[in-house]
Structure 1
Amino acid sequence: MQLYVSGSVALDRIMNFPGKFSDHILPDKIHILNVCFLVDGLCEFFGGTAGNIAYNLALLGEKPLILGCAGRDFAPYAERLRGLGLPLDGIRSVESQFTAGAYITTDQADNQITGFNPGAMREPCGYRFPDRHDGSVMGIVSPGNVQDMVELPAYFKKAGIPYIFDPGQQITALTGEQMAQAIEGSFALCTNDYELELVIKATGLSRAELLKRTGALVTTLGEEGSLIAQGAQETRVPVVKVDKALDPTGAGDAYRAGLLKGLCLGEPLAKAAELGSVCAAFCVASKGTQEHRFSMEDFNASLSAHFGRSI
């Protein structure tokens, strides 16, 4: 199946502060805040919603096409994607900008201060789709450039391509009308439970009304797994627990990749979500959104242990 994965391509730059932010911020002087935190160094990780989803799909044997933009510092990331066998045709180069980047500083109390530079993500991908598609095609529109998040659902509907709409961190950047239009006719709306409430508030549509506009609501619930709602039927899919969860960042993207893999195999949505749970577990067991690895043998062993089957 041809998979289109739209969203951000980003570099995550992680820094650790060997202290507590609260020890260096004076509450009565917050109106003239001017602080500097000396960090223990910097680690750079490949990330972004589209990059993370595509990475996990590559581990699952798929070769999705990423639709997004990258900047003049993209070369190491591009080399990584090529090493995974992923095509770069859908990634537009914006040489006047840096690749989108998150600058995250974490203190010893796990508090975080994050700065995000959208960089090249300010530009739409501008991808020219082929006049016709041979075989099965599916897309996912995940958080990224706002214009892409509006225009790609419209294109997918016109072309008859089923797609998952995953607004995530960009919910507040979209108008309620834009979100409602993107949800209308989608294969599924995929959010976590908090994001679903934001969508309901922004669109003015109830959960029942959303279900009339999309084929399904896929709602992740953290440690409680996920809930698949289709019409009047709801299926709870349990989480796959790990011995030690090191970092939840990127787990949602890994879940979406497993979900898409199941759909590529022709599985019903609730069964495909089981693959999402397994994929997310591998992610949370490592620090970083693309630092985990697994073979299909590893994946099937976990799938068999938790759901009694393999793919």
Structure 2
Amino acid sequence: MSQSEQRALVLGGGTMGVGIVAMFLAGGWKVDVVSRSASTREGLPAATARALQAMGKPGDTSGLSTHATLANAHWPAIAIAVETVTEDLPLKQKLFAEMEALAQPDCALTSNSSSFPISRIGQGLKTQSRMMGLHFFMPAHLIPLVEVVRSVNTDSALAEKVGGIMSALGKRPVQVKKDVIGFLGNRIQAALMREALWLIEQGVASPADVDATVRLSFGFRYAAAGPIVQKEHSGWDTTCAVAKVIYPDLCNADGPPPVLQRNVDEGRIGFKTRRGFFDWDDESIAKERARYERALRKCLEIFREEGIV
């Protein structure tokens, strides 16, 4: 079957789902989207068209079909299913059991979960070998990397095949060969976030200065080289010496710091409530989102010039 004839299913039509749908459509696939919400289904074509335009593609959503239930999807033609529903383990397990019964035997069943181990989501399935994680980063239509996450039961050849599909769609897949909590990206990101929040909690620096430090120092370098290659430039001997001094003093708390818990308790959770570490209104949110998207597109241009995506 040619790529242009292939069909994907995306379960869930929220912000993450829209980006994934746009990725498939941009690659010439047809996409079935299943959402119980009528308003989500009605708004999906327009939201997907905007995501396609942000990718520099025509906003053509003619290959999109929406359904209220999994049973109504075009299962005989679906080569890969991507679940993007809320982080509710029993719900995910229920939905994967339903998909397993409906899907063709060679259809890959994948989850965009960012927190649950893939083996727990797939627990109880008769064909756990075709179940794996497919973790995108928001916004999924612009962030080039996707994690292909194996459980102990996942067929490694199928995981590589799914990675190949992602490559053909313009993504840079990484193979996560052990089912660790948080996979690659979120584990590394969580380590940085824990230290950043601790520094704010201790009054070492303001949220704005923490952001500036990350973006304009080592974060700036990371757009050019990842942490491993960057230290190949500077020398591992220095890194080893610094680790002996700094690592013992780093935060090792096993839960959220008080500054984060206070913000959540007070409803200071960011754009959703118009306040977080910073205050927002509709105008400033729209301006920040546009700036953020422009910056992502410029970085993507650099990566494309280098041929890494």
TM-score range for the pair, normalised by the shorter chain length: 0.3 to 0.5
Greater helix share, structure number = 2
Structure with greater Cα Rg? 2
Q: Could you tell me the TM-score, scaled by structure 1's length?
A: 0.37
Select the structure with the greater relative contact order (CA < 8 A; seq sep ≥ 6): 1
